[in-house]
Structure 1
Amino acid sequence: MNTTTHIRNFSIIAHIDHGKSTLADRILELTHTVAERDMVEQVLDSMDIERERGITIKSQAVRVMYDASDGQTYQFNLIDTPGHVDFTYEVSRSLAACEGAILVVDSTQGVEAQTVANALMAMNANLEIIPLINKIDLPAADVDRVRHEIEEGLALPADDAILASGKTGEGIVDLLEAIVKRIPAPKGDTAAPLRALIFDSYFDAYRGVVALVRVVDGHIDKHMKVRLMATGINIEVEEVGVRRPANLPVNSLNTGEVGYLITGLKDPADVKVGDTITLEKGGVHEPLPGYREVKPMVFTGLFPLDGDQYSDLRDALDKMRLNDPALIYEPETSHALGFGFRVGFLGLLHMEVVKERLEREFDLDLLATAPSVEYHVYLTNNEMLAIHSPQDMPDASTIEKIEEPFLTATILIPPDYVGAVMDLSVSRRGTFVTMQYLSTTTVEMKWQIPLSELIMDYFDQLKSRTKGYASLDYEFCGHQPSQLVKLDILLSGKPVDALSFIVHKDKAFDRGRILTEKLKEIIPRQMFEVPIQAAIGGRILSRTNVKALRKDVLAKCYGGDITRKRKLLEKQKAGKKRMKNIGNVEVPQEAFMAILKVDE
C-alpha cells in the first residue's frame, strides 16, 4: 500500500477517567485486532500500575484494519494517550504523529479542565477533531448539556458529535465510519528521502532501544542505514514492524504509516523523543518541527534505604529515563540519608508513579524527601543560580532577590463552590485572573498560583472543598519575585538537611510551629530528651521536646538513706547526658512527608 489514501492516523484524547482506554478496547474488539480470548480490560494499558490506578501513563500505538461501508479496507493507526495533567507532554508528542483526534467527553461529567487543555493542543496541531460523547448508557447521561458545553467551552460544532458507549459498544461503528470520512489521509512524498518522527521509545532488555515512529516522507526498510538527526548517530535498522498490539515484524514502513523500529542501541539517551530519522547518505538536512525538551517542574530526593542499592537505583533510573524523557536526575548526598539522587518530575502524580515503579519493577526500598521546585536566586554580585534543593540555598546575606515559578491554574467548578475556591486560592498566595460561566452549571476560574503551593496539597484541598466536582489544569507562566526564606529543622541542635525547606516569609512562623508539633508525634522517644527546633538562620522560631524514656532506677531501693537514691539518679542523669552528646536520632520516613501536610 504505497499510496496514503487508505491510511488514517488518529489519537484519542480526553480528561482523566472519561473512558478513552475502554473505547480503544471496543475498537480493537470490533475490528478483530485482538482475539476474543486475549481480550482484557484496557488492553493498551500494559503496566500493572496503569490497570490498578485505572489511568493511562504511557502513550500506545496500535494498527487496526477496518472494512468500511464503501467496500474499501482502511489502515487505522490508533494512539491511546494519557489524560492526567502531569502527562501532557505525552499527549503533545502523540498528536504530532496524527492527522485527527477523537475528543472523548463523559456524558455525566461534561467538559472538564483537561478536556479544554487537550482540545486546544489538538487545535494548535491543526488536527481534525471528532467530538464523541461517551457513557450514554448511564442513567445520569445528559447529552444536550454536554453538547452545549462542547460548543460554548471549546467552540467546536457538536451537532454531529458521535454518541457512544465504550462499555456496551453502542455507536462504535458510527465512530469508525466518521474516522474514514472526516479525518484526512496523511500527506507525504513517497519518492522523497526518508523523514520519520520518533514519538515514543522504550527499552527492551534483549533488543536494545525500540523507537515508535511515524513515517512522514519516504520509507524505512529492514537493514537500512539511517541517521538520528539530534544526536548524529548512524545505525542499521535491525527490524521494522507494527503493533497489533503485540509486535508484528514487516519488511518496510511506508509514507504515512506508524510502527516501531529496533535500533540495537544500548544507551537510552541516544534516542531522543521528537527526533527525526533520515537516511545516512542522501538524507534531508531539515529536521521535523515542533518538538522541545520537556522541563521537569517538581524535584525530590530519592535515597535507597539500603546504601548498597545506590548503583541499582542509578541503573533503574537510567532504564526508566528511556521510556520517560521528562525524568532528569543528578547524584545528591545528604548528611542524614547518605547517597541518593535529586530527581525532576512533571508533577506529583508523575513522582508517585515513578517511585512506585522503581520499587515494584526494580525491587528497591526508597525514601523520598519532600518535593521542591526550581528557584532562581539572584546574588549581590549579579550572578543567577537555579536552586532545586533547600541544601543548595546560599547564605542570606549574599542574596539580592529570589524568584519562584508561577502557574496559571484553570479550574472548572459548579457555581456553588466559587467562594470555597477563592478562599483556598487566596490562602495559597494565589492571584485572581478571570472568571466566566461556560454554562449554568459550570464556571471557569483562572488563578496565578506559586508552584510550591500547588505541589503541597492544593489539589487534595480543592477536591475536598468542592466535594470532588472541581477539575484542574495548569500551565507554567514564568518566574516572579517572592519573599522567600529557608526554614531549617534542628534535632538536638543539629540541622537535618533533608527536613529543611523553602517557605514564604509570612508563613514561616506558622509552618515551623505546625511542623515541630507534627515531628514530635512522629519521631520515636529516645533514652534522652530530643529538642525539635524550627529556625531561620540563627533565629529560632519554635521548639518542642520529645520526652525521654525513663527507666525507674529506684525500683530496687526500699526505704533507707536518701543519698543512695540521689547517687543512682545522678548516675542516670550523667549517662543520659553522655548519650545525648553522641546519640543519633532515628528519623522515620513519615517525618519527611510531614512537610507536605503542614497546611492541613
Structure 2
Amino acid sequence: MKNIRNFCIIAHIDHGKSTLADRLLEFTKTIDSKDLQAQVLDSMDLERERGITIKSTAVQMIYEYGGEKYTLNLIDTPGHVDFSYEVSRSIAACEGALLIVDAAQGIQAQTISNVYMAIEHDLEIIPIINKIDLESAMPDEVEDQIVELLGCPRTDILRASGKTGVGIEEILAAVIERVPAPTGDPDAPLQALIFDSVFNPFRGIIAYFKIMNGSIAKGDLVKFVNTGKEYDADEVGILRLGMDPRQRVECGNVGYIISGIKTSKEVKVGDTITHVKNPCDKAIAGFEEVKPMVFAGVYPIESEEFENLRASLEKLQLNDASLTFQPESSVALGFGFRCGFLGLLHMEIIQERLEREFDMDVITTVPNVSYKVYDKKGNMKEVHNPAGLPDPTLIDHIDEPYIRSSIITSTTYIGPIMTLCLGKRGILIKQEYISGDRVEIIFDLPLGEIVIDFYDKLKSISKGYASFDYHIHDFRPSKLVKLDILLNGEPVDALSTLTHADNAQSFGRRMCEKLKELIPRQQFDIAIQAAIGAKIIARETVKAVRKDVTAKCYGGDISRKRKLLEKQKEGKKRMKQVGNVEVPQKAFLAVLKLD
C-alpha cells in the first residue's frame, strides 16, 4: 500500500487538464505512441467535438522511481461549473490533487471553488503552472496569485507544458514524494466507496470503487450497504485504459466490479460495498447528495416512445449521477419527465446524449428553477413547474432561490458586468482586487434570472475573460407572476413561465413576436397572446394563408364573387373551430435565446 498514490487533476475550463493527463500517460508508457491521440481520456464524441471534459475518467499508471515501482491512480475531472459534482466525487476518492493554472490566464473562479473543495477533504495540493511555452505566458505573476491563494512556498510550485512535455518528470516525482499513501487496514472488513458507474449492454452495470479497508476477490459474495442487495463478484479488476481483470484488488486501490446488475436503482454513487459474511459496521460518510438547479420538462416527440425515454434516462443517470427525473404530463405535449439539471450546459449535453446514444428525439420545455410557494394558511409547497402553481388568490407570497456568485474579471469590464448583474436584479455584496488588474465581484442574484442566458452574455461582454462560479445561498420573497402564452385562446402549458412582475410585460411581448416568426401560417388566423391570469398583456396575429377563390370569375355580376367569398368565410370559421396549432420544437428553443 505504501507504493500507491491516488490523485486527481483540478482546474478551470480550458487550462489544459486533459492534455497534461495525455503527457502523464505517455511518459509512464501506459499508452503506446501508436495509440496516442489528443485528449485520450475524453472518450465521448461530444467531449472531443466541444473540447471539454464532461465525465471524470479514472486510469492506473505504473511508474518506476528511485528503484521502486509505484502504482499511480489518476482521475481527470471536468472544469465547467455545471459538472462540479463530478469533481466532488473524484476528490472523495483521492488523497492528492494537481491544481493546474494557465500561465496566460491566471487563477479563475472555478479554480478557487475547486481548491476549497479539495481543502475541505484534506487533500495534498500540488500547484502547477501549465502552458509556459505560450508567448503570452506570465509565470511570475501567476506564481504570485497561487502563493496568495494557497499560502504555499514558491518552491512548491511546478512549471510545466502539457503540449511540449516540459516538467512532466518533476510532476510525477512530486506526486510520489508529496501525496500521502492511502491509509486503511488491509485486514479489516471490506469497505469500498462507489464513485462512478457505467452501463454496458452485454454485462450490465459496472461500478467503479475505491477500497478504503480490506480487499475484494473474484467470486466473493458482496453487499451494497445503502440498498441492502447482495451480489456475486463475477469480475473485479483495475482501470487501465480499458478494464484489466485481476483475481484480487487490494486495499487503497481503485478498481471496478461486474456482478450482472441489470437495474440502475440498485447502484447508488456514494454507496459502500462490503462482504456479506464479514460486513463493515458502517457505511462511508461524507458523500453529498446532488442538488439540481435547473428544471425542464423532457417529452418524447412520439408518445409511444415514453417507456424508451424512461429506460434511456435511467441508463444516463448511471453514468451521470447528477441527473434527476420524475414523470409528469402536459396538455400540449402528453407524457414526459420533469428533469433536474445542474445548469444549462448540463441540460444541453443530456439532450445531445439522448439523441446520440439512444436515438431519442425529445422536446425540452423552457427551463425554470424551484420556488417555495406559501398559501394564506402558512403551508409551503415546492413548485418546479409553472403549471403546478396554485390559484393566485390563494397565494400569500413566493420565495425564490438566490445564489451567491463570484465573478473574476479584468478591471476593463467592471462597468458592463455590473450593468448586466443589476439588470438581472442582482445585489452587489463586495468587490475585491485580487492582483494587478484582476478583480473579484461578488453578487447575490436570483437563480431564475441567470438560468437562461446569463453565462453567455457574461462571456460576450467580457470577451471571454470573466469567469463565473456560484452556489445556492438562500430563498427570498419575490414578486413573481405566472405568464401564460395562449394560441387562439388555448394556453400552451409548455411555454408558461414564472417571471418577475416588472419584467413580465416586455418578456411577454418579446415572446409573442418570436412565436409569430416561428409558427407556420395556417388557413385561418392564429392569435398569439401573452396573459397574466385573465389580463392579456401582449398580442400578435399570424395571418391566414388565403386561396384566391374569385380567380375563375372574369366579368359578370359582383354577387357571384360575393357568394364565393361568403362561402370561403364560412369555411374559415368552421376550420378555426376544429383546427389546432402545432408548435414547432424551434419555438421552444427560441424562447431560451430571447434577447
TM-score range, shorter chain: over 0.9
Matched, 1:149 2:153: no
Secondary structure (helix, strand or coil) at the match of 2:451 reads helix
Matched, 1:259 2:255: yes
Partner of 1:46: 43
**1:467-486 equivalent positions in 2, closer than 5 A:** 467-486=463-482
Q: Report the Cα distance in structure 1 between the residues aligned to 2:154 and 2:425, rounded to whole angstroms.
A: 38
Aligned residue pair count: 595
Matched, 1:60 2:22: no
Partner of 1:183: 179
Q: Report the Cα distance in structure 2 between the residues aligned to 1:273 and 1:441, rounded to whole angstroms.
A: 42
Matched, 1:350 2:346: yes
Q: Report the Cα distance in structure 1 between the residues aligned to 2:428 and 2:469, rounded to whole angstroms.
A: 15
Q: Report the Cα distance in structure 2 between the residues aligned to 1:311 and 1:373, rounded to whole angstroms.
A: 26
Q: Report the Cα distance in structure 2 between the residues aligned to 1:445 and 1:508, rounded to whole angstroms.
A: 28
**1:297-376 equivalent positions in 2, closer than 5 A:** 297-376=293-372
Secondary structure (helix, strand or coil) at the match of 1:456 reads coil
Q: Is the 8 A contact 1:407 1:476 kept in 2?
A: yes
Secondary structure (helix, strand or coil) at the match of 1:242 reads strand
- Cα deviation code 1:432-490 (max 9, x no counterpart): 11110111121101111111111111011111111111110111112221111110000
Q: Is the 8 A contact 1:104 1:134 kept in 2?
A: yes
Q: Report the Cα distance in structure 2 between the residues aligned to 1:248 and 1:458, rounded to whole angstroms.
A: 44
Pick the aligned partner of 2:21 from 13, 21, 24. Answer: 24
Q: Report the Cα distance in structure 1 between the residues aligned to 2:150 and 2:422, rounded to whole angstroms.
A: 28
Q: Is the 8 A contact 1:152 1:439 kept in 2?
A: no
The CA deviation at 1:430 is 0.8
Secondary structure (helix, strand or coil) at the match of 1:44 reads coil
Give the alignment's Cα RMSD to 1 decimal: 1.2
Range moving further from structure 2, 243-252 or 226-235: 226-235
Partner of 2:132: 136
Pick the aligned partner of 2:423 from 415, 424, 427. Answer: 427
5+ unaligned residues in a row in structure 1: which ranges?
Answer: none
Pick the aligned partner of 2:75 from 73, 79, 88. Answer: 79
The CA deviation at 1:311 is 1.6
Q: Which amino acid aligns with 2:25?
A: L
Runs of 4+ residues over 6 Å off in structure 1:
none
The CA deviation at 1:360 is 0.6
Q: Report the Cα distance in structure 1 between the residues aligned to 2:74 and 2:143, rounded to whole angstroms.
A: 25
Partner of 1:101: 97
Matched, 1:519 2:497: no
Q: Report the Cα distance in structure 2 between the residues aligned to 1:419 and 1:155, rounded to whole angstroms.
A: 31
The CA deviation at 1:263 is 2.5
Q: Is the 8 A contact 2:344 2:452 kept in 1?
A: no
When the two structures are superposed, what TM-score results if normalisation uses the length of structure 1? Answer: 0.97
Q: Is the 8 A contact 1:202 1:209 kept in 2?
A: yes
Q: 1:412 to 1:81 in 2, by over 3 A?
A: same
Q: Report the Cα distance in structure 2 between the residues aligned to 1:377 and 1:263, rounded to whole angstroms.
A: 45
State the identity as a percent: 55
Partner of 1:586: 582
Q: Report the Cα distance in structure 1 between the residues aligned to 2:547 and 2:305, rounded to whole angstroms.
A: 38
Partner of 2:195: 199
The CA deviation at 1:387 is 1.0
Q: Report the Cα distance in structure 2 between the residues aligned to 1:243 and 1:415, rounded to whole angstroms.
A: 45
Q: Is the 8 A contact 1:222 1:252 kept in 2?
A: yes
Matched, 1:454 2:465: no
Secondary structure (helix, strand or coil) at the match of 1:263 reads strand
Matched, 1:233 2:226: no
Secondary structure (helix, strand or coil) at the match of 1:86 reads helix
Secondary structure (helix, strand or coil) at the match of 2:412 reads helix
When the two structures are superposed, what TM-score results if normalisation uses the length of structure 2? Answer: 0.98
Q: Report the Cα distance in structure 2 between the residues aligned to 1:417 and 1:167, rounded to whole angstroms.
A: 31
Q: Which amino acid aligns with 2:18?
A: S
The CA deviation at 1:37 is 1.5
Q: Is the 8 A contact 1:147 1:159 kept in 2?
A: no
Pick the aligned partner of 1:543 from 539, 546, 552. Answer: 539
- Cα deviation code 1:242-268 (max 9, x no counterpart): 111110001111111111111321111
5+ unaligned residues in a row in structure 2: which ranges?
Answer: none
Partner of 1:439: 435
Range moving further from structure 2, 21-30 or 319-328: 319-328
Pick the aligned partner of 2:217 from 221, 225, 247. Answer: 221
Range moving further from structure 2, 307-316 or 71-80: 307-316
Q: Which amino acid aligns with 2:273?
A: I
The CA deviation at 1:594 is 2.7
Q: Report the Cα distance in structure 1 between the residues aligned to 2:593 and 2:253, rounded to whole angstroms.
A: 49
The CA deviation at 1:282 is 2.5
Q: Is the 8 A contact 2:223 2:275 kept in 1?
A: yes
Secondary structure (helix, strand or coil) at the match of 1:592 reads helix
The CA deviation at 1:156 is 4.1
- Cα deviation code 1:359-382 (max 9, x no counterpart): 011111111111111111112233
Pick the aligned partner of 1:125 from 121, 146, 159. Answer: 121
Partner of 2:565: 569
Partner of 1:114: 110
Q: Which amino acid aligns with 2:515?
A: L
The CA deviation at 1:307 is 2.1
